[in-house]
Amino acid sequence: MNRETGEHRHPLYEELAAIVGEEHVSDREIDRYAYIRTPSWVLGRVPGLVVKPADAQQVSEIMKLANRTKTPVIPRGGGASLGGFPLSDEVERSILIDLARLNRILFIDHENMVVGAECGVSLSHLSTEVGKKKLHIHTVDIPQYADSLGGVLSGFNGGGCPSDYATTGEAFHFLLGLEVVLPSGEILTTGAGSGTNIKQAQAADRTPGSPDMTGMFVGDAGVFGIKTKAYLKLYPRAASLAYGAFAFEDFEAMKAVFWKLMETDPLYYTRLVAIKPQWRDTWSLFYVIRDAEELVRFKADRLAALCTEGGGEKVTNELARKIISSFSGRQLGKSYASRGKFLYFEHPMKKGEAVDYFLRQEAFLDRRFKEAGVEGLITDRVRYLVPKERHMILVGDLVFWDVTTLSAEQVERLARISHEEAEHVLENGGFLEQHQGLETRISASYWSEAYRAFMKSIKKALDPNHILNPGLWRL
């Protein structure tokens, strides 16, 4: 039994144990305490109790109990998001719902190319299982090893960047529908489920006869409901892959090729990154192409021709791997830990304005680092441009510091620069996505009055007792 013996005994322990079974609920201090950690720089507050339901029905009963007693509820997936944690005093008596037991893959429907799964399932497990059938889902890149399906749909713009972001956009475009437990405890199915005018248990599309209410729950940080099931489109897994990089002496020349690639039809790259690590003098265009074997060859040849014509020079695959590893995959985790904390500036911008904007942001950062006297402490820096389909470019500047050499005051100064940078983005016509590192509270502080009022009215309608993730998005 995971029952607290000291003074902190949660008043709802028995009732929750009756719902989920005693071994799946704990109000022991160590069990509660462990949940305050996410990758956010801000630690969470210790929840009052942790419960691990087995299915949507149990989640619903927990929500009904929480409503009756006006107890705050915090859903939790992989705990890998940087979106923040409710921080009010109320958290002390909250119920944290750890969704890890909702980990069943419901079906992999090869014929109709749909997969259904419970939302506590880990993304890596889900993508491995569909991969065994030579199928593919669009998931996030590195954090798939930590993220849950429900967490990724709730956090970071609802699914953020799959590795083929350049051609496919955000992962939530591939979401067909959800089962959600509303704050009231009601279980609702949207889109591809049977919630609207669909008589079949399973519909095939996201908008069968209603506005796109699935989208309302995407990227909500779990303030509107708790996702318990999700239905995703499946794609054939590409049989073949090619990767490489071309180096350009001249930034403008690279930009011209980059633009041409973004405009070319049909889409012929899967991933494209213009990248300049600190240890290289030149910019490189890195690509990964995934497709059928003959198409990969065809696309790679065309890409090579365009790059060479535009003044690019092919680098060895080993060097290409080294260049990209300063920024992607598990390497990011490695660099992060070995070189210390990073400041991650990454913002989407309209394609036509992205480069000028990027150069302005870069100059701003250079100036601020210099003024703050911390520029000499940078251990590594990676600048990059990543297309987001055809219309946008993500401009990024990833700056590493060796934490061992930073004083508390310098850390403080860096945090200030991070905030000033956000202001600068807005002044420059950019916008702040809830992108790696940006708390929902920070994003929401830039909402207009009208938008805030609109969001508040939705929240109030769905969650009149204000119990689900209170305080996130400043709601």
- Interface residues with other proteins (CB under 8 A)? 2, 23-24, 26, 28-31, 33-40, 50, 52, 78-80, 98, 100-101, 103, 121-122, 124-125, 128, 143, 145-146, 330, 333-334, 336-338, 403-404
CA 25 vs. chain centroid, Å, equals 28
Give all strands of the β-sheet with 313-314 in edge-to-edge order: 313-314, 240-248, 283-291, 271-277, 378-388, 392-401, 342-350
Cα-flanking dihedrals φ and ψ of residue 243, to 5°? -140, 165
Q: Among residues 129 and 346, whose Cβ is nearest to other proteins?
A: 129
Q: Is residue 82 a contact residue for ligand FAD (CB under 6 A)?
A: yes
Give all strands of the β-sheet with 49-51 in edge-to-edge order: 25-26, 49-51, 95-98, 73-76
Q: Which amino acid is at 215?
A: G
**Intra-chain end-to-end CA distance of the chain, in Å:** 36
From other proteins, ligand FAD, none, interface partner of 214 (C-beta below 5 to 8 A by class): none
Distances (CA, A) of 352 to 263, 358, 382: 12, 11, 22
Q: Among residues 179 and 291, whose Cβ is nearest to ligand FAD?
A: 179
**Rounded distance between C-alpha atoms, residue 162 and residue 4, angstroms:** 42
Q: Is residue 73 a contact residue for ligand FAD (CB under 6 A)?
A: no
Instruction: Provide the pairing of β-strand 342-350 with 187-189.
Output: unpaired
Q: Among residues 158 and 310, whose Cβ is nearest to ligand FAD?
A: 158
Site string for ligand FAD, 290-329 (x = CB under 6 A): ----------------------------------------
| Of the candidate residues 38, 127, 168, 361, the single one contacting ligand FAD (CB under 6 A) | 38
Q: Is residue 77 a contact residue for ligand FAD (CB under 6 A)?
A: yes
- Smallest gap from Cβ 438 to ligand FAD, in A, equals 10
Question: 3-class DSSP state for residue 239?
Answer: coil
Site string for ligand FAD, 117-136 (x = CB under 6 A): --x-----------------
- Smallest gap from Cβ 76 to ligand FAD, in A, equals 5
Q: Among residues 67 and 310, whose Cβ is nearest to ligand FAD?
A: 67
Binding window for ligand FAD (CB under 6 A); candidates: 144-152, 346-354, 377-385, 445-453 = 144-152
Answer whether 458's CB lies under 8 Å from 426's CB. Answer: no
Q: Among residues 124 and 410, whose Cβ is nearest to other proteins?
A: 124
**Rounded distance between C-alpha atoms, residue 150 and residue 60, angstroms:** 16
- Smallest gap from Cβ 226 to ligand FAD, in A, equals 4
